[in-house]
Structure 1
Amino acid sequence: MPWPFKRKSLKQIARIEITGAIAGGTRKRVLEALKTVEQKKFPVLLLRIDSPGGTVGDSQEIYSALVKLREKVKIVASFGNISASGGVYIGMGAEHIVANPGTITGSIGVILRGNNIERLLDKIGVSFKVIKSGPYKDILAFDRELTEPEKTILQELIDTSYQQFVETVAQSRKLDVDVVKSFADGRIFTGEQAHNLGVVDRLGTEEDARCWAAELVGLDPEKTKSFTIEEPKPLLSRLLPGNLM
Structure 2
Amino acid sequence: MPWPWRRKSRRKMARIAIEGPIAGATRERVLKALHQVEEREFPALLLRIDSPGGTVGDSQEIHAGLLRLRAKGCKVVASFGNISASGGVYVGVAAERIVANPGTITGSIGVILRGNNLSKLLERIGISFETVKSGLYKDILSPDRALSEGERELLQALIDSSYGQFVSAVAEGRGLSESVVRSFADGRVFSGAQAKELGLVDELGDEEDARRLAARLADLDEEKTRPVTFGRPRKGLGVLIPGRALWGELQTALSLELAWGGQPLWLYRP
Q: After superposition, where does 1:155-194 map in structure 2 within 5 Å?
A: 155-194=156-195
Shift of 1:126: 1.0
Name the structure, 1 or 2, with higher relative contact order (CA <8 Å, separation 6+): 2
Q: Which residue of 2 aligns with 1:50?
A: 50
Taking only the aligned residue pairs, the percentage that are identical comes to 64
Runs of 4+ deviating beyond 2 Å: 230-234
Aligned to 1:63: 63
**TM-score (structure 2 length as normaliser):** 0.83
Provide Cα deviations, 1:165-193, integer angstroms capped at 9, x if missing partner. 00110011111111101110000000000
Counterpart amino acid of 2:129? F
Partner of 2:257: none
Amino acid in the other structure paired with 2:118:
I
Residue 133 of structure 1: SS of its match in structure 2?
A: coil
Which aligned pairs between 1:95-244 and structure 2 lie closer than 5 A?
Answer: 95-231=96-232
Matches within 5 A, 1:17-56: 17-56=17-56
Change (3 A) 1:232 1:101: closer
One-letter code aligned to 1:190: S
User: What is the TM-score of this pair, normalised by structure 1?
Assistant: 0.91
Measured after TM superposition, the shift of residue 12 of structure 1 is 1.2
CA distance in 2, matches of 1:151, 1:38: 44
1: CA distance, partners of 2:160 / 2:171: 16
Alpha-carbon separation, structure 1, partners of 2:207 and 2:160: 34
Q: Deviations over 1:141-176 (max 9, x none)?
A: 000010111001000000000010001100111111
Q: Which residue of 2 aligns with 1:240?
A: none
SS in 2 for 1:101: coil
CA RMSD of aligned residues (A): 1.5
Write the letter of the residue equivalent to 1:180: V
Name the amino acid aligned to 1:66: L
**Distance (whole Å) between structure 1 residues aligned to residue 233 and residue 153 of structure 2:** 45
Give the counterpart letter for 2:99 in structure 1. Answer: V
Inter-partner Cα distance in structure 2 for 1:232 and 1:168 = 27
Superposed displacement of residue 8, structure 1: 6.2
Alpha-carbon shift at residue 60 of structure 1 (Å)? 0.5
Paired residues, what number? Answer: 230
Find the structure with the greater CA-based Rg: 1
The one-letter code of the counterpart of 2:35 is K
Question: Gaps spanning 5+ residues in structure 1: where?
Answer: 1-6, 238-242
CA distance in 1 between counterparts of 2:15 and 2:234 reads: 17
Shift of 1:230: 2.4
- Report the CA distance between 1:195 and its aligned residue: 0.3
